[in-house]
Amino acid sequence: MMNVFTPAYPSIVTRYLQRYGSDKWSVRQGRQKFYDNIIVVPAIAEYDNINNLLNSLKKNDRNYLLKTMILFVINNGENASEEIKTNNSQTIALLEKLIYGDGLIIGYVDASTEGFSMPDKDAGVGLARKIGMDLALTLFDYNSFNKKLLICLDADCEVKNNYLSVIVDVFNKDRIEAAVIEYEHRLPEDELSKSAIICYEIFLRYYVLGLSYAKSPYAIHSVGSTMVCDYESYIKIGGMNKRKAAEDFYFLEKLAKVVNIHKISQTKVYPSSRTSWRVPFGTGQRMNRFRAGTHEEFSLFDFRIFELLKEWNAYYYSDEIITVTEYLSFAGKLNPALKNFLELNSFQNQWEKILSNAKSIEQIRKQKKIWFDGFRTMKLIHYLRDNGFPNINMFDALDDLYVKLKIDTNISRNESIPSIQIQQNYLQTLKEAGSVSLNQN
């Protein structure tokens, strides 16, 4: 890793890089300079998409672009196909020309060619993001009073022309530490693909709104290309993980345990709606699955699960010191499956540990949040689905949600799966319902 032990770095950066950094990779840039903001973009076989992303970024305010590096991590595993390696080689050649341009400040990391490719056991989007974000710590202008921001994007995205200005201004004026940016998948032209992406976006947004309704501290959409945090928060959680998929979910979950994650709705990221082989789930996988017709796509969690979760969260997160017996008794009255879940997850032992180790109400609050984290919340929702609350028709579930949120939609339908236009109306209502900041929920 480049200049790991430079004394100009804050001590927390030096310690982090000594513990978690690697000297295998370095940043190639046109000239040595330091920045306030670094946009980290993992890219594997993305030659055809790089220019679209850069063209959308070019439309942003030049005053913000001058303080921002766009850092591509061109990556593949050691045993990647020749097709992938060739595409990555073409991408590196393209970026080598662009780093000397004057429109954008571009750098890249070669994690692709022989001697620099990622080990197959770890090769994937998590490690690619980690390489870029760790190296970004060596490129910040720590003498500047502005926030030092790590901004995640993907190579197949586009962004609005106020993308950088909104992110930088919100972080610096409100002094926030982490955020997710509003997103919107571009709708494809053909009806099958359009229906697939509408269905997937409804699934994502319904889940987060359900968690928000239930007052879960983990009501955060997990879309990797929308994540932003300052360098202190990144270091505080030990950096990015190496997961080949769901790296965004686990990264945001760790952040949520130590800082508030806000939602920035004044700008937008536009992820691609393409099918993809790059990760085992996410947008590309859902598009593949929808086309294959292997799952019942037009279904969602029964909203009664979120109602139950809301009652449990209100009781669980109360500052009143409650015994294990009282917790389990309350859970059993709410629903026997909830009590069973707690017992299966060793809640009794965990709660006793929390009480014995915590020295204050504040520490108890923190430990509660850590134990009942985003992953365990998701496991509970799946457990309730499998034990009494099976999935229901997607649009019935949305109708229930809108009633609970007191949203008048004026949407009428006579079919269990309505026309594409009515599906779009449902999705638009979900977007509007989710446009408030997470910290206001």
Residue of 215, 394, 214 lying closest to 299 (CA atoms): 394
| Same domain? 313 vs 277 | no
**Confidence at residue 288, expressed as pLDDT on a 0 to 100 scale:** 54
Q: Evaluate whether 152 touches 226 at the Cβ level (below 8 Å).
A: yes
Question: What percent of the chain clears pLDDT 90, i.e. is strictly above it?
Answer: 76
| Same domain? 248 vs 361 | no
In whole angstroms, give the CA distance from residue 90 to residue 50: 11
**Confidence at residue 3, expressed as pLDDT on a 0 to 100 scale:** 42
Does 394 reside within a domain? no
Residue 291 reports pLDDT greater than 80: no
What CATH number should be reported for the domain holding residue 204?
Answer: 3.90.550.10
| Same domain? 249 vs 333 | no
Does 58 reside within a domain? yes
| Same domain? 309 vs 288 | no
| Final residue in a domain of this structure, among 358, 386, 414 | 386
CA torsion sign for 166, 131, 250, 85 is positive
In whole angstroms, give the CA distance from residue 105 to residue 69: 5
Residue 18 burial by Cβ neighbours in a 10 Å radius (0-12, 13-18, 19+): exposed
Ranking 39-48, 94-103, 130-139, 294-303 by mean pLDDT, the lowest is 294-303
Does 207 reside within a domain? yes
b/e string for 365-385 if b means 16 or more Cβ within 10 A?
Answer: eebbbebbbbebbeebbebbe
Q: How far is CA 249 from CA 256, 281, 364, 436, in A?
A: 10, 12, 24, 20
**Confidence at residue 279, expressed as pLDDT on a 0 to 100 scale:** 44
| Same domain? 32 vs 63 | yes
Q: List residues bridging with 40 in a β-sheet.
A: 71, 152
| Same domain? 137 vs 275 | yes
Residue 22 reports pLDDT greater than 70: yes
In whole angstroms, give the CA distance from residue 355 to residue 348: 11
Q: Per-residue pLDDT tens for 128-156?
A: 999 999 999 999 999 999 999 999 999 99
The token pair that represents 78 in the structure block: 């050691």
Over residues 91-103, mean pLDDT: 90
DSSP per-residue string spanning 282-337: SHHHHHHHHHHT-S--SEE--HHHHHHHHHHHHHHT-SS---HHHHHHHHHHH-HH
The separation between CA 384 and the C-alpha centre of its own chain, rounded to angstroms, equals 25
- The model's pTM is 0.91
Does 429 reside within a domain? no
| Same domain? 160 vs 50 | yes
Does 280 reside within a domain? yes
Q: Evaluate whether 92 touches 85 at the Cβ level (below 8 Å).
A: no
> Edge-to-edge strands of the sheet including 68-75?
27-29, 106-111, 68-75, 37-43, 149-152, 227-230, 178-183, 261-270, 158-159
| Final residue in a domain of this structure, among 245, 269, 292 | 292
- Rg of the chain, C-alpha, whole Å: 23
| Same domain? 332 vs 248 | no
| Same domain? 134 vs 256 | yes
Q: Whats the size of the chain, residue-wise?
A: 441
Query: Which residue carries 């500052």 as its tokens?
Result: 319
Does 420 reside within a domain? no
Per the structure, the complete domain to which residue 235 belongs is given by 11-292
The amino acid present at 71, given as its one-letter code, is L
| Same domain? 85 vs 233 | yes
| Same domain? 286 vs 316 | no
Residue 37 reports pLDDT greater than 70: yes
What domain count does the chain have? 2
Residue 74 reports pLDDT greater than 60: yes
Q: How far is CA 406 from CA 38, 387, 425, in A?
A: 40, 28, 17
Does 437 reside within a domain? no
**Confidence at residue 440, expressed as pLDDT on a 0 to 100 scale:** 41
Q: Per-residue pLDDT tens for 406-422?
A: 888 888 888 888 888 99
Ranking 48-62, 200-214, 402-416 by mean pLDDT, the lowest is 402-416
Does 4 reside within a domain? no
The separation between CA 336 and the C-alpha centre of its own chain, rounded to angstroms, equals 33
DSSP 439: G
Q: How far is CA 111 from CA 117, 121, 129, 138, 140, in A?
A: 5, 14, 11, 17, 21
| Final residue in a domain of this structure, among 339, 371, 386 | 386
Q: Per-residue pLDDT tens for 321-336?
A: 899 999 999 999 999 9
| Same domain? 42 vs 89 | yes
In whole angstroms, give the CA distance from residue 94 to residue 97: 5
